[in-house]
Amino acid sequence: MDSTFRRTPDIHLQDLIDGLLSGNRAFLSKAITLVESKKAEHKKLSAELVNAVIQHEKESFRIGITGVPGVGKSTFIEAFGKMLTSKGKKVAVLSIDPSSNRTKGSILGDKTRMDELSRDPNAYIRPSASGATLGGVASNTRESILLCEAAGYDVVIIETVGVGQSETVVKDMVDYFLLLMLAGGGDELQGIKRGIMEMADHILINKADKDNLKAAKKAREDYKNAVHLFPPNDAEWTVPVGLCSAIEKTGIDDAWNEIDNYAQHTQMNGWFNENRRRQAIKWFHERVRARLEEDFYSKPNIKEEIKKREELISSQKISVRKAVDELFS
- What domain range includes position 295? 280-327
Top pLDDT among 184 and 241 is at 241
Q: How confident is the model at residue 43 (pLDDT cuts 50, 70, 90)?
A: confident
Report pLDDT digits (tens) over 3-15: 444 444 456 899 9
Q: How confident is the model at residue 183 (pLDDT cuts 50, 70, 90)?
A: confident
Contacts (Cβ under 8 Å, ≥6 apart) of 189: 222, 223, 226
> In Å, how far are 18, 97, 133, 224, 302 from 288, measured between CA atoms?
29, 26, 16, 40, 20
Our count of domains for the chain comes to 3
274 falls within a domain: no
The answer on pLDDT for 171 being more than 80 is yes
Residues 247 and 310 in one domain: no
The pLDDT value given to residue 97: 59
Report pLDDT digits (tens) over 214-243: 999 999 998 899 888 888 889 999 999 999
Note the Cα 10 to chain centre separation in Å.
30
Residues 69 and 197 in one domain: yes
Domain boundary residue, one of 56, 82, 103? 56
257-281 burial string, b = 16+ CB within 10 Å, else e?
ebbeebeeebeeeebbeebeeebee
On average, the pLDDT of the chain sits at 85
Sign of the four-CA dihedral 36, 42, 45, 47: positive
The answer on pLDDT for 269 being more than 50 is yes
Residues 201 and 291 in one domain: no
The pLDDT value given to residue 315: 96
Backbone torsion region of residue 70, taken as left when φ is above 0, otherwise alpha when ψ lies between -120 and 50, otherwise beta:
left
In 3D space, the residue among 229, 152, 224, 158 whose CA is nearest the CA of residue 188 turns out to be: 224
The answer on pLDDT for 142 being more than 60 is yes
What mean pLDDT do residues 259-271 have?
97
Residues 73 and 155 in one domain: yes
CB 21 within 8 A of CB 150: yes
The pLDDT value given to residue 108: 46
The pLDDT value given to residue 169: 78
| CATH code of the domain containing 73 | 3.40.50.300
In 3D space, the residue among 148, 136, 159 whose CA is nearest the CA of residue 61 turns out to be: 148
First-to-last alpha carbon distance for the chain, in angstroms, is 37
Report pLDDT digits (tens) over 46-82: 999 999 998 876 789 999 998 878 899 999 999 999 9
Residues 142 and 288 in one domain: no
Q: How confident is the model at residue 37 (pLDDT cuts 50, 70, 90)?
A: confident
The pLDDT value given to residue 193: 59
The pLDDT value given to residue 99: 44
Residues 43 and 101 in one domain: no
Domain boundary residue, one of 268, 298, 314? 268
Residues 221 and 94 in one domain: yes
Q: How confident is the model at residue 18 (pLDDT cuts 50, 70, 90)?
A: very high
The pLDDT value given to residue 127: 83
pTM of the complete model beyond 0.75 = yes
The pLDDT value given to residue 192: 56
Report pLDDT digits (tens) over 103-141: 343 344 455 578 899 999 999 999 875 444 433 344 688
Top pLDDT among 139 and 170 is at 170
Residues 220 and 319 in one domain: no
